[in-house]
Amino acid sequence: MRRNGPIVSCLAVLALTYAHVAAAADLTPADIGVTSATIQALVHGVGHSVVQVVVSGYRPGGGGDGIVVARSRTIGSGVAIADGGYVVTNAHVVSGAQRIELVLPDVDGDTTPVGRATGRTTRASLIGLAPELDLALLKADVNLPPVPLAKDGVRQGELVFAFGSPDGLRNSVSMGIVSSVSRQVDPGNAVAYIQTDSAINPGNSGGPLVNAEGELVGLNTFIESRSGGSEGLGFALPVSVLGLAYPQLRDFGHIHRGFLGMSLQTVTRGIRDGLQLPDESGLIVSDVAANGPAAAVGIGTGDVIRAMDGHRIDQLSFEQMYRYWYGLPPGARVEISVWRDGETRTVSLQTVLAPHDCQRPSTLDDLDDQLVEPLSLFGQPLEGGETGVLVTARIAGPTMGDVDLQSGDVIKAVNRRPVTTLASLKDSIAAVERGHTAVLQVERNGSLTYVEFER
């Protein structure tokens, strides 16, 4: 076991380094306050707000015909963002969740009592989801102190700490600096992230990134890595996004925002050269929604957006751009400068309520009702007066190959007993004694066929 001496020495060197930088900026070391004691106090305080998120459910399993899912158990992280048991994490952490549990921080912070390695747990509900931001809001019947949100964002070179459960090792923390305050990883995605060299690994997703004041500056979201582990390229969703998204997820279950009716991309050098666009910066319109606000004023694909409300695009910070793109309420009016074929014009758009793919989500406990375990499938009854159960997905596993069923099949009968509901299908299967054969009448691609399997 390595002693604490080298670690304290490293912190001392870091403190001296910061003191040197501070002196150059007419500051004193006390102004920076980087000491082992202050770091320990910060970690102890923030640690009471960080949870491990344990998700069990089903994810795409691959292989076979049609839709195949597999049982899964994933571990991520989360942080209390408000009183009342509200916890934020990443959407990919809770993807396919059937059951969500939070492993709560230990009372003593960095100490796990002998004989209780797993920690205290509580169930959580998924009440808000924003896949476009990779953000999810959970709620649990627990009282956790929320981490205060930083009001001033971050600066390049600022000291930050990443909390979470890397590789399932809960209550972990790493230290680094902000490599970039606004890194747009995907030119086709309007979201820009905080880049940090703090060690972030699988399991850190959804955990907080905090500054030296113990304030939340971002939510650890993903890494760029060739090895699968931390290589100093971690990315966190900025607190400005969290601050705008949280109340919407809490109140509506999704991002309740204004919609301009168009998709924008950064004009890369390749796009500029290929489409023979001018050198001036802007955002190119890659898609326009039919009958949306943009289409109504004549904006089309290939147009370049130069300014919004008189502010040039290349002079907007990410936070300002985000407010235009995700923070505008329905009914807001925006003046947009549009370039096309050498001419620039200004149009006025009024936002409408943005469409969304999901209503307020739940913990998906109703998935149990759709499970037909002996047949390794999920099913749902047909609508419109038709009888039978539609196979919506197969469950990957050792028993999957025992039954020749595919997603899209409709089970009409079991041993000549008509199947009208999921309950009747389960009852008919349960009535078959073990070691005996059940014969399913199945409609597949418009034709009836028989499928047999042995209980």
Ranges of the chain with pLDDT below 50: 1-25, 27-30, 109, 111, 358-365
Residues 393 and 430 occupy one common structural domain? yes
Q: Cα(238)–Cα(224) distance, rounded to whole angstroms?
A: 17
CATH assignment of the domain containing 313: 2.30.42.10
16 found inside a domain: yes
Catalytic positions are: 92, 134, 205
Same domain, 348 and 371: no
d(CA 253, CA 251): 6
Residues 184 and 92 in one domain: no
310 SS3 class: coil
Same domain, 9 and 130: yes
> Is residue 39 in a domain?
yes
pLDDT value, residue 415: 93
* Token pair recorded at residue 369: 């009702």
Cα 334 from Cα 327, distance rounded (Å): 12
- Tell me, yes or no, whether 92 and 206 share the same domain: no
Do 135 and 165 lie in one domain? The reply is no
Q: Is 369 helix (H, G, I), strand (E, B) or coil?
A: helix
The total of structural domains in the chain comes to: 4
Q: What is the pLDDT of residue 306?
A: 92
Pair (409, 393) in one structural domain: yes
Give buried/exposed letters for 380-418 (b at 16+ CB in 10 A, else e).
Answer: ebbeeeeebbbbbbbbbeeebeebebbbebbbbbbeeee
Please give the single-letter amino acid code of residue 326: Y
81 and 184 belong to one structural domain: no
Q: Which domain holds residue 272?
A: 258-353
Nearest in space to 389 (alpha carbons), one of 371, 365, 402: 371
One domain for residues 242 and 337 = no
**Both 186 and 114 in a single domain?**
no
Task: Classify residue 178: in a domain, yes or no.
Answer: yes
pTM of the full structure: 0.69
- pLDDT recorded at residue 89: 97
Query: Which residues does residue 180 pair with via DSSP β-bridges, in sequence order?
Result: 195
Give the phi and the psi of residue 235 in degrees, each rounded to 5: -135, 135
Q: What is the CA radius of gyration of the chain?
A: 27
Give me the CATH number covering residue 51.
2.40.10.10
Q: Is residue 275 a part of any domain in this protein?
A: yes
Tell whether 437 is covered by a domain.
yes
Q: Which of 164, 175, 172, 167 is nearest to 197 (CA)?
A: 175
List phi, psi (to 5°) of 237.
-70, 125
Regarding whether 421 and 389 lie in a shared domain, the answer is: yes
Q: Domain check: are 78 and 26 in the same one?
A: yes
Note whether residue 147 is domain-resident. Answer: no
Q: Which letter does DSSP use for residue 345 in this model?
A: E
Return the structure tokens found at 7.
């670690």
